[in-house]
Structure 1
Amino acid sequence: MTNYDLMSCWQIAAPREAVYRALGQPTDWPRWWLGLRRVEELGSCNERSNDQSNEHSNDRNHEQGTGRGYRYHWQSPLGYPLRFDIRVIRLYAPWLMVGQASGDVEGWGCWQLTEAAGGTLVRYRWRVRTTQPWMNLSAPLARPLFVWSHDAMMQSGAVGLSRWLQAPLGAGGCRR
């Protein structure tokens, strides 16, 4: 398996709450994120509990969104498909979302939203390892292309979210 620790930053001239709401609705993402073919809701790991003692905490977690799962179907700029599931493991509205990934990649992703002058600074950290044999075998040579592909897909997300929210995208980058 090949490990990746990638960071993306976007500056969007929209309130943090609006950005958080948009990112909190992954089934809408294909409407504005080029390269994302579809997102399927998998339900919540907290939905079906028969244990009465956990009933209230499970309801609270489900309302907050923890435990929700989604299957993402991507088409990379290089042409290869990528499919993975993300289970929401931590939410702190309106500034943090963390998900556990499994499938073609395994690991975690974290959205962090910070109020910035005139809008919201969005930081996304994607710390995963590839599970597909072809990706692992080609990684010694193709790693820079995989990183470029990720960066291009994330830039597409920034542009799409900016249009979706009708808010200009600023020049906010982050260092690797």
Structure 2
Amino acid sequence: MSPRHYSFASTWQVPAPWEATFGVVADLEHYAAWWPQVRRVVGIDDDTARVAVRSFLPYTLQLTLHRTRVDAGSGHLLAEIAGDLEGWASWRVRPQGAVTLLHYAQEVVTTRPWMNAAGVVLAPVFRLNHAVMMRDGAAGLTRHLVS
């Protein structure tokens, strides 16, 4: 079965300074400290980490994230994704008044045969699973930065 392609986008508003917000989302190795669905992170080097992610569906994604761009000046982060998903994820972080806006975009394909096959029917559920993860990530980041 062919890989299934997914495009995700999300915008978060965090009531914290953009510099601090950018620093936290640029730090792959500590995502598990604030993002509930990030179950485990193992740093490989300064720009690469192995990450285990699980939302409400009964499976854990094993991913390797490799930062390819960290540009604090423009507020842009870009990471390649390998493992159970392949593709990329991008953060654009910028101040807007008293809050920081984070625009997240992700383009991936599934690599596991069962996900490729199940995606024919379960794509809407996979998207919902991702939406829950993003909602909880925004809340976790807010708690982390505001506390």
- Aligning the two structures, in what range does the TM-score lie when normalised by the shorter sequence? over 0.9
Identical residues among aligned pairs (%)? 33
Match for residue 71 of structure 2? Answer: 92
The separation in 2 between residues aligned to 1:70 and 1:139, in whole angstroms, is 26
SS at structure 2 position matched to 1:113 = strand
Structure 1: 4+ residue segments shifted above 6 A:
none
1:5 aligns with 2:7: yes
Instruction: Give the AA of the match of 2:53.
Output: W
Aligned residues: 144
Larger strand percent: 2
Match for residue 146 of structure 2? Answer: 166
The separation in 1 between residues aligned to 2:116 and 2:80, in whole angstroms, is 20
SS at structure 2 position matched to 1:165 = helix
Match for residue 41 of structure 1? Answer: 43
Q: Structure 2 unaligned segments of length 5 or more: list them.
A: none
The separation in 2 between residues aligned to 1:114 and 1:25, in whole angstroms, is 17
Query: CA offset at residue 71 of structure 1?
Result: 0.7
Match for residue 153 of structure 1? Answer: 133
1:110 aligns with 2:112: no
Q: Structure 1 unaligned segments of length 5 or more: list them.
A: 45-67, 168-176
Instruction: Give the AA of the match of 2:70.
Output: L
Match for residue 62 of structure 1? Answer: none
Query: CA offset at residue 149 of structure 1?
Result: 0.4
Q: What are the residue-to-residue correspondences of 1:19-168 with 2, within 5 Å? A: 19-44=21-46, 68-94=47-73, 95-166=75-146
The separation in 2 between residues aligned to 1:138 and 1:159, in whole angstroms, is 30
Query: CA offset at residue 75 of structure 1?
Result: 1.4
CA contact (8 A) 2:26 2:70 kept: no
Query: CA offset at residue 26 of structure 1?
Result: 2.0
Query: CA offset at residue 76 of structure 1?
Result: 2.1
CA contact (8 A) 1:76 1:82 kept: no
- Quick check: which has more Rg, 1 or 2? 1
- Scaled by the length of structure 1, the TM-score of the pair is 0.79
Query: CA offset at residue 90 of structure 1?
Result: 1.1
The separation in 2 between residues aligned to 1:114 and 1:77, in whole angstroms, is 30
Instruction: Give the AA of the match of 1:136.
Output: N
